């Protein structure tokens, strides 16, 4: 009996040694592999969070804002000779910030566009690789200070209505999620003088009809010069 027991223990000794070596080797490899796994996972989740954050999926805050023109801050801008260097607290700045919030697209449907500051916002967005599309009325492209030709030279796609009727809309759709709509034409007089209003909202029941209307008009004015229906 003693002999049998001794032999059995001796037979198992090599196996124990092998498993010990394998276990030690696995543990040593883990010391190298685990940091790589941790760093790789961290980078993956950081990139995932960045993409989700950029898409606005975490931005569930309700936006319902009304802006009136002119206000005390913009009253100082009435003189064309005055440089608009300080827009802090103005309705114009609020409007500009709502447009600058775009991450993917800006669809602008505006009867008249002659406000330099708002034109520059669109050009900057275009340079930042945001898709910018503009629809306007052909008769207004010759208005004093019109920004349309400047937008075209910058590479922004512009389509116009050349019918005998006006393309009289004044709205912007930001990322297909936020609507900027009201009575305001993008002109110096509209910003600094006229009594105007702008509604900014992300209420999808209000936003989506404007998304569809813009697409309808964009297809209707299929050429850069627009359509002549008369």
| Token pair belonging to 92 | 């114009």
Residue 175: active-site member: yes
What span, in angstroms and rounded, lies between the C-alpha atoms of 29 and 33?
Answer: 6
Determine which one of 137, 161, 169, 170 is catalytic: 170
β-strands 157-161, 105-110 pairing: unpaired
What span, in angstroms and rounded, lies between the C-alpha atoms of 120 and 151?
Answer: 9
Residue 12: active-site member: no
* Closest of 115, 97, 105 to residue 215, by C-alpha: 105
Count other Cβ atoms within 10 Å, centred on residue 146. Answer: 18
Residue 168: active-site member: yes
Q: Which long-range contacts (CB under 8 A, 24 or more apart) does 35-40 make?
A: none
What span, in angstroms and rounded, lies between the C-alpha atoms of 126 and 135?
Answer: 15
Determine which one of 175, 177, 212, 216 is catalytic: 175
Determine which one of 12, 168, 212, 216 is catalytic: 168
List active site positions. 168, 170, 175
């Amino acid at each position: 009996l003693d002999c049998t027991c001794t032999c059995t223990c001796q037979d198992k000794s090599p196996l124990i040694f092998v498993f010990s070596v394998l276990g030690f080797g696995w543990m040593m490899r883990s010391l190298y592999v685990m940091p790589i796994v941790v760093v790789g996972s961290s980078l993956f989740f950081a990139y995932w969070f960045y993409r989700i954050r950029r898409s606005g999926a975490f931005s569930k805050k309700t936006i319902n804002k009304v802006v009136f023109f002119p206000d005390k801050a913009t009253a100082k801008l009435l003189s064309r000779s005055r440089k608009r260097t300080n827009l802090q607290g103005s309705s114009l700045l609020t409007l500009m910030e709502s447009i600058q919030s775009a991450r993917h697209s800006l669809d602008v449907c505006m009867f008249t566009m002659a406000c330099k500051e708002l034109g520059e916002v669109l050009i900057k967005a275009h340079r930042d690789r945001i898709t910018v599309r503009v629809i306007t009325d052909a008769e207004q492209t010759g208005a004093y200070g019109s920004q349309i030709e400047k937008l075209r030279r910058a590479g922004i796609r512009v389509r116009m209505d050349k019918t005998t009727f006006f393309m009289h809309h004044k709205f912007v759709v930001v990322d297909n999620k936020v609507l900027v709509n009201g009575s305001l034409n993008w002109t110096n007089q509209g910003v600094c003088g006229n009594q105007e209003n702008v509604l900014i909202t992300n209420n999808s029941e209000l936003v989506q009809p404007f998304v569809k209307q813009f697409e309808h008009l964009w297809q209707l004015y299929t050429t850069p010069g627009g359509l002549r229906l008369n």
